[in-house]
């Protein structure tokens, strides 16, 4: 088959003067769409330790553990210890997370939320293990 290289010339010229489809990240700030899912955030005060997030996570990226510093029970007016809300911390393994946000959807207390913090690359593997604590 005989090739006709000049046939692509008009298209090549057209593309030459068109606005680039790619962005200049990292030289320019990345433009993220609304609802873009990146690092999952955890709020200690809201968590009740039900571990539904752990059960639903397809890649076992999230761990909910009792906090080391638990509040001491206060003595009530009747002289008995008052009930204390147990505190939970969260370990998020960024190298396992696939940002599906199923944990966010299922959390009954909205203790988990996705952020737009996507620049998560690390040289040391241990830095991919985030410990959200009180
Ligand atoms: S689902 Fe929400 S409240 Fe339950 S353990 Fe996970 S973060 Fe805590
Ligand atoms: S976003 Fe998905 S993969 Fe990441 S911790 Fe939540 S459920 Fe697991």
CATH number of 36-70+80-134: 3.30.70.3270
With a pLDDT cut of 90, the percent of the chain lying above it is 67
Using the mean position of ligand 1's atoms as its centre, give its distance from the Cα of residue 107 in Å: 5
The per-residue pLDDT for range 77-104, each reduced to its tens digit, is 888 888 889 999 999 999 999 999 999 9
Kindly provide the residue ranges of all beta strands, DSSP E only, lying in the chain, ordered along the sequence: 40-42, 62-66, 88-93, 112-114, 129-132
Is 62 near ligand 2, meaning CB less than 6 Å away? yes
Mean pLDDT of the chain: 92
Predicted model pTM: 0.83
Atom 7 of ligand 2, residue of closest alpha carbon: 57
- pLDDT over 70 at 1, yes or no: no
pLDDT of residue 87: 96
Using the mean position of ligand 1's atoms as its centre, give its distance from the Cα of residue 2 in Å: 66
Look at 4 and 37; give whichever has higher pLDDT. 37
The per-residue pLDDT for range 33-49, each reduced to its tens digit, is 899 999 999 999 999 99
Ligand 2 atom closest to the Cα of residue 101 is 1
Ligand 2 atom closest to the Cα of residue 92 is 5
Q: Confidence class of residue 7 from pLDDT cuts 50, 70 and 90?
A: confident
Candidate from 2-16, 57-71, 86-100 with smallest mean pLDDT: 2-16
C-alpha distances in angstroms, 131 versus 64, 82, 125, 128? 10, 29, 14, 10
DSSP, collapsed to helix, strand or coil, labels residue 12 as helix
Best of 94, 96, 100 to mutate for ligand 2, by most ligand atoms within 8 A of CB? 100
Atom 6 of ligand 2, residue of closest alpha carbon: 103
- pLDDT over 70 at 2, yes or no: no
The per-residue pLDDT for range 105-120, each reduced to its tens digit, is 999 999 999 999 999 9
pLDDT of residue 83: 85
């Amino acid at each position: 088959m005989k090739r006709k290289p000049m046939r692509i010339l008009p298209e090549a010229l057209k593309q030459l003067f068109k606005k680039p489809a790619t962005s200049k990240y990292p030289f320019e700030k990345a433009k993220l769409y609304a609802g873009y899912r990146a690092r999952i955030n955890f709020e200690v005060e809201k968590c009740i330790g039900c571990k539904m997030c752990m059960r639903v996570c397809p890649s076992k990226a999230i761990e909910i553990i009792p906090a080391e510093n638990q509040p001491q029970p206060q003595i009530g007016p009747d002289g008995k210890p008052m009930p204390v809300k147990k505190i939970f911390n969260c370990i998020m393994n960024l190298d396992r997370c696939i940002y599906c946000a199923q944990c966010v959807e299922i959390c009954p207390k909205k203790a988990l939320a996705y952020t737009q913090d996507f620049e998560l690359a690390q040289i040391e593997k241990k830095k991919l293990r985030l410990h959200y604590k009180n």
